Structure 1
Amino acid sequence: MANGLPGRLGTVRMEGELPHRDDIPVVFDELDYQLACQAYLWALPLVSYAQWKKQHYEVFGATGSDLVHYVSYRDRLGLITANATTPYILNFFDLAESGPLVIELPAGPTAGGVSDFWQREIAAMGEMGPDRGEGARYLIVPPGGGTTEVDGYRVLHSTGTNIMFGFRTLDPDPDRSQALVDAVRIYPYARREDPPQTRLVSPGGRAWSGDQPRGLEYWVRLHEIYQREIVDDRDRFYLAMLKQLGIEKGKPFAPDERLTRILTDGAAAGELMAQANTFAKRFAGSRYWPDREWDLVLPLDNSAQRGTNYDELLERASWFYEAVSFSEAMKSQTPGLGQAYLGTYTGADGEWLDGSRTYTLHVPAQVPAKLFWSVTVYDSQTRCLIDNEQQRGDRGSRDRDLRVNEDGSVDLVFGPSAPGSGETNWIETIPGRHWFSYTRFYGPLEPYFDRTWKLGDITPT
């Protein structure tokens, strides 16, 4: 007789208290499927960076001596929840190939840092880093490198073999901003006497995708990066799951028909879980104002991804499904420094934001941001900037043509057609696709922290 359990297990025949011998494969299929779902969520930050690096090296032609410079809107269309206001300069490096790596960061208004491929921040750099915007020469040492002090360098110990170095310039003047970019140097310490030129590579309008691949390709990417990365003790149980799924260090990934089916189904279900975990956050304290739909998009407590008595598995999965990189500066608690991020995935009516409908957002006067603020629209499927005909996905205080009300407030419009008032405060959405929005505060001020300033909801008209 069937045992009444849900899903595949409901088809298992029982012999008393034990499953029928012929139905044991059904039980193992379900076990491996559940392992795949959990491994999908666990691996999101690692696969995300591995995919992004692959795009840099294979699509843009970057090497370990280069930085990729994202400037235009089209450059950033493959970058998960990119800021459309400031340029990005970054690349990925394998310390097993380069050895200790030197980063020369010039003095000036920059925000950035170095992280491992689990997207744990190794160190902030620039205004929120130890150089405080005064510039420095950093030396990134691989795990087990042992070096603690080197004259003339700030030594950083990497928590992984693969790293990402990236930064943004915060100077609104384009010439000064470009001068900062041009002054950055990155090269192996072994070549410090004759360092290679640091080349700036442009995406050049090429189509690319930095979001995690779907289906079997997700596991292909995970297998690839696993071969070139160290293992933390906290991950050993997950590595046991990967072994059962045919992913082992030093062995080829060659799933048979059964495992291919399970991995494909597991990636699809894992992404569905990631979407719910991201777009309907159930973490305590996520809702920023109790009577608004805006959430704190960063549920992680710290860059180590460690909570009290546990590691932040679901918090990490939430953030790194919808975004890339983490810095303590993103959760600044110091008025006037760092950034703050709020996100909304539903309108004031509690329904998913729909590209075929028109909405308005009221931004009250005196936005608590020392540097600037912006509101950005992202495609829910890709989590990237909306690829609209307008080729513009944000509006904010840096837009010189922004129409401001007499009282200093701003009303933004989102929808598939330009409003009668014109395009100035309008962001075009795409019918048939859902979207979500971030509001960013650069240099958040006290009225943001004490919540006395309150942003309106995105309201259907």
Structure 2
Amino acid sequence: MAIDGAPGAGLTKEQLAEEVTHLSTPDLLKTPFGDLEFFDGVPRAESVQSIYDALDLLRGIDAFLTAVPGASLVAMRRGLRTAGVTSPDIIGFTDPRANSGGLYLTPNTETTYGTTFLDLKAWGPTVIEAPPQSLCVIDDFWFRYVTDMGIPGPDRGAGGKYLFLPPGYDGERPDGYYTFESPTYANWVVLRTLGGVPAMKQTRIYPLAEADAPRENTFVNIADVLQNTVHANDFTFFEEIAQLVAEEPVSALDPERAGTLAAVGIAHGTPFAPDDRLRGILDDAARIGAAIARALVYRPRDPEAFFWEGNSWKNAFVGGSYEFLQGGARNLDARTQFHYFATVITPAMAHAQVGAGSAYAYTAEDADGHVLEGSSTYSLRIPADAPAKNFWSVDLYDTQTRSLLQSTPYPALSSLGGEVHAEEDGSHVVWFGPAAPAGRESNWIPTIPGKAFFPMFRLYGPLESWFDKTWRLPEIQKEA
């Protein structure tokens, strides 16, 4: 560029011609979508539809990977409704704990869960009285964090009244509540109490308008109710997202993500009615998107997804941010990785602290890098002095559904109760296989021949040696 009116040297004709080659499209462009033909940069008529089919496929794949968090909660609400949790004042719980009958993304078998969905559109401002000594979370319908309640929340485990306001609320905000405004009308409530079911039944959820005489809540044991709370991996996925977008205000999404969805026909106030061409493309997009998500979960390429160099044990929360932010940018792969196989967003999970919360590691591979498969027998040695203030556990999951493996109601072992046999050096050897090794029945979790699986190792109250990596899980060994 010339400065102060002085002429620049410019380019030679040869240099300018070279520049044109860099900004031009050839008359025949070979792509994964087929050969595309142009005349001097203008698409030929016979290639135009192929180009737009390619664009719609790319937009669809991007929409799938971007919208997995929302689809996950649409499926969660649908599944809970089939189990009878149809209103905010109906709270489903798992007594004594979650089992492998229903399809849930990686629940543990050590915790009694409680759950419901707020409906701020129907109820308006809504109150939750959190039980004392609890660990509770509220996430909005796009699976974004709203607040913790209980021990990690502002009541610090003493119990307290929380007021949730709908998007754009401009009414009264009474004193005496921890008050939060959610970007969405639907909000997922997750309840965990240290006092078990009796403590959970101290929870109260009611409209603010009934604060002087709150309604009674109904508690439904959903532990043994067969239900599917996992989102689809075909065209149906986009119908799930269309439902979410239709229900929630335009302000619930940023323009970029809203634009990605609008590009495939999903927009607020507009019926989602793709023609047969687009429907077929979106079905392909969902299946390809799911394939990418599975690679991110089981075979991630980000080195930060692994706990230890040269070891296959993986971290579900890459980067340690519950918003998946790194250096001011959203880590899109990390967000998809987490939401494709896990649930609940809270800073307490993303960034565990010494002696508090929980830490997680998972793998779908043995020491040789082969996929874990239920016809074979494997062993995992958990070294002595496992860094858990409270206890450790191992749960097995189905690689297709990412739900508890249906080889037994409780496909898990833990250090609670002392039932798992310890070796002389203080380590524990856990076995996975279709039959228990002789004399090791107490340390065995059954698998299903012909079906892949993956274990998740949890530490409740992780200690310093977990964080400084001086304690390390070895690889899973396939037995001869």
- Alpha carbons 1:278, 1:318 under 8 Å: kept: yes
Deviation readout 1:90-140 (Å, 9 max, x if unpaired): 1112211111111111222x2121111222221112222222211111111
Structure-2 residue corresponding to 1:212:
231
Q: How far apart are the structure 2 equivalents of 1:31 and 1:332?
A: 38
* Contact 1:141/1:157 (8 A) holds in 2: yes
CA distance in 1, matches of 2:171, 2:327: 31
Work out which of the residue numbers 398, 402, 423 in structure 2 matches 1:405.
Answer: 423
Q: Do structure 1's residue 85 and structure 2's residue 110 form an aligned pair? A: yes
Cα distance in 2 between the residues matched to 1:244 and 1:119: 22
Asked if the contact 2:381–2:474 (Cα under 8 Å) also holds between the matched residues in 1, the reply is yes
- Stretch of structure 1 that moved more, 155-164 or 133-142: 155-164
8 Å CA contact 2:101, 2:406 repeated in 1: no
Aligned match of 2:135:
111
Indicate the residue corresponding to 1:21 in structure 2.
45
| CA deviation after TM superposition for structure 1 residue 402, in Å | 1.3
Alpha-carbon distance between aligned partners in 1 of 2:200 and 2:256, rounded to the nearest angstrom: 42
- The Cα of 1:148 is off from its aligned counterpart by 8.9
Tell me if the contact between 1:66 and 1:91 (Cα under 8 Å) persists in the aligned partners.
yes
Report 1:430-441 matches (<5 A): 430-441=448-459
Deviation of 1:7 after TM superposition, in Å, equals 2.0
Superposed, which structure 2 residues align to 1:373-388 within 5 Å? Answer: 373-388=392-407
Q: Residue in 2 aligned with 1:173?
A: none
Partner residue in 1 for 2:477: 459
Per the alignment, in what secondary structure is the counterpart of residue 471 of structure 2?
coil
Aligned residue runs from structure 1 range 120-159, under 5 A: 120-146=144-170, 150-159=174-183
- How far has the Cα of 1:233 moved from its partner? 8.2
- 1:161 match: 185
Corresponding residue of 1:253 = 272
Structure 2 CA distance for aligned equivalents of residues 179 and 141 of structure 1: 28
Q: Is the 8 A contact 1:75 1:206 kept in 2?
A: no
CA distance in 2, matches of 1:368, 1:146: 48
How many angstroms does 1:169 deviate by? 2.2
The secondary structure found in structure 2 opposite 1:22 is helix
Aligned mate of 1:418, from 428, 431, 436: 436
Deviation, structure 1 residue 283 = 2.8
1:311-322 equivalences in 2 (<5 Å): 311-322=330-341
CA offset at residue 284 of structure 1? 4.2
Report the CA distance between 1:146 and its aligned residue.
Answer: 4.7
Q: Deviations over 1:154-192 (max 9, x none)?
A: 11222322211112123xxxxx42221111111111111
Q: Work out the CA distance in 1 between the residues paired with 2:273 and 2:131.
A: 47
User: 1:50 aligns to what?
Assistant: 74
Equivalent residue number for residue 23 of structure 2: none
Alpha-carbon offset, residue 222 of structure 1? 0.6
2:305 is matched with 286
Please state whether the residue corresponding to 1:183 is helix, strand or coil: coil
Q: How many Å apart are 1:145 and its aligned residue? A: 2.5
Larger Rg: 1 or 2?
2
Distance (whole Å) between structure 2 residues aligned to residue 261 and residue 399 of structure 1: 53
Give matches, 1:301-320, under 5 Å: 301-320=320-339
1:355, 1:185 → 2: CA distance?
Answer: 43
Compared CA separation, residues 318 and 102, structure 1 to 2 (3 A): same
Unmatched runs of 5 consecutive residues or more in structure 2: 1-25
* More displaced stretch, 283-292 vs 80-89: 283-292
The 3-state SS of whatever aligns with 1:324 is coil
- Equivalent residue for 1:244? 263
Tell me which amino acid in the other structure corresponds to 1:104.
E
Using a 3 Å threshold, how does the CA distance of structure 1 residues 106 and 369 change in structure 2: closer, same or farther? same
AA aligned opposite 2:151:
E
Summarize deviations over 1:365-386 as a string: whole Å, max 9, x none: 1111111111111111100000
Task: Report the Cα offset of residue 261 of structure 1.
Answer: 0.4
Q: Quick one: distance in 1 between partners of 2:422 and 2:102?
A: 28
Does the aligned pair in 2 maintain the 1:330–1:341 contact within 8 Å?
Answer: no
- Give the deviation of 1:204 after TM superposition: 5.6
Distance 1:331 1:304 in 2: 9
> How many Å apart are 1:74 and its aligned residue?
3.7
Contact map agreement 2:398 2:452 (CA 8 A) in 1: yes
**1:432 deviation in Å?**
1.8
Paired amino acid for 1:207: L
2: distance between equivalents of 1:98 and 1:287? 44
Deviates more, 1:249-258 or 1:261-270: 249-258
Alignment of 1:356-375 (within 5 A): 356-375=375-394
Question: Percent of counterpart pairs with the same letter?
Answer: 32
**Contact 1:274–1:321 (8 Å) recurs in 2:** yes
Equivalences, count: 453
| 146-155 vs 125-134, greater mean Cα deviation | 146-155
Segment of structure 1 superposing worse, 147-156 or 365-374:
147-156
* Alignment of 1:450 onto 2:468: yes
Q: CA deviation at 1:75?
A: 6.6
Question: 1:426 is matched by which residue type in structure 2?
Answer: W
Residue 207 of structure 2, aligned match among 188, 195, 201: 188
- The letter of the residue matching 2:217 is T
Kept in 1, the 8 Å contact 2:71–2:240? The answer is yes
Quickly say closer, same or farther: Cα 1:400–1:77, change in 2 above 3 A: farther
Quick one: structure 1 residues 448 and 149, their matched pair in 2 at CA, closer, same or farther if it must change by over 3 Å? farther
RMSD (Å), alpha carbons: 2.1
Task: Give SS of 2:146's match.
Answer: strand
Q: 2:86 — aligned with what?
A: 62
